[in-house]
Copies of this chain bind each other. A is one copy, B any other.
Amino acid sequence: MITFLSGGTGTPKLLRGMRTVLPDRELCIVVNTAEDLFISGNHLSPDVDTVMYLFAGILDTETWWGISGDSHISHELANRFGAGEYITIGDQDRAVHIARGALLRGGKRLTECTRLLCERMGVLATVLPMTDDEVATYVSTPEGDIHFQEYWVKYRGKLPALDIYRRCKRHPVATDEVIRALEESDAVVIGPSNPVTSISPILECEGVHSALRDQFVIAVSPFIGDRPVSGPAAELMEAWGSRPDSLGTSLLYQDLLDVFIQDVRDTIPVEGAQRFDTLMVDIDKSIELSRFILELIRK
């Protein structure tokens, strides 16, 4: 069993390769939930959904969110009627939000909801939300403090990010399922996801840090030079007080890391880092990177 820490784009791209070289049942994914929110009365868990859909074989891999070929009847009409849904929600995707909303309101933990949804979608990998507690990443902007989804989807990351922080009623605690997976895996891979908004929320969950201390941990940098491969990582890293590059990323993870992988083209050297082509432009590149990671683990 290998466990991955994942956000919603970079790490799923890696997982798409991984599942061609390892059986789904041997993959466990601990997923960021700090972007979750209730929208239109139902529960959106963007990174969990992307990972579930990937393993269910229904992910839209053009956008890396939503269900391939989904219709948008309810979304388009609701907005014509004034709903103001700023996130595009497909009808099938909404069905997942509705079911999860109902299960949560019925008292189930997010972990249980996810397990039920995975079962019904035929997902064989183990998909674990990082916590059952509510926590959200907020961005301070000149327009006020807004949920990260609003910052990224509604404003397309175009507002100046002055600060970034987590909002929660109590400090989130990693679930027992997460701690067990981290401790019992053969290795843990920190995927090439946004360090501020995807990976750090997982590392911040109580129990994760100590569970990883004695583990073999490999991280893949989401940066090439001073730009992330995708998404809003650079500006947010700066707002967070980190260097927006591989060096900044490696420093964030340094007390956990055994191996750090950065792109062959990366102009910001990280001492002791392994170099590989991390730009997963297609599934073949994902498979090559997956094989490289597995070799490092087996050594």
Q: Which of B38, B73, B98 contacts A71 (CB 8 A)?
A: B73
Inter-chain pairs besides A73-B91, A82-B99, 18 sampled, C-beta below 8 Å: A40-B98, A40-B101, A41-B41, A41-B98, A73-B95, A74-B98, A77-B91, A78-B98, A78-B99, A80-B120, A81-B100, A82-B102, A82-B103, A83-B98, A83-B99, A83-B101, A85-B98, A85-B102
Copies of this chain assembled into the complex: 2
A-B contact pairs, 12 of them (CB 8 A): A40-B98, A71-B91, A74-B98, A76-B95, A77-B92, A78-B96, A78-B98, A81-B98, A81-B99, A83-B95, A83-B101, A84-B106
CB-contacts of A52-105 with B (<8 A): 71, 73-85, 91-92, 94-96, 98-103
Nearest Cβ distance between residue A74 and chain B, in whole angstroms?
5
Are the C-beta atoms of A78 and B95 separated by less than 8 Å?
A: yes
- Name, among A42, A71, A91, the residue most crowded by chain B CB atoms within 10 Å (CB to CB): A91
A contact face: mostly helix, strand, loop, or mixed: helix
State in angstroms the CA–CA spacing of A169 and B106 once bound together: 23
Cβ-defined partner of A116 (8 Å) among B41, B79, B81, B95: B81
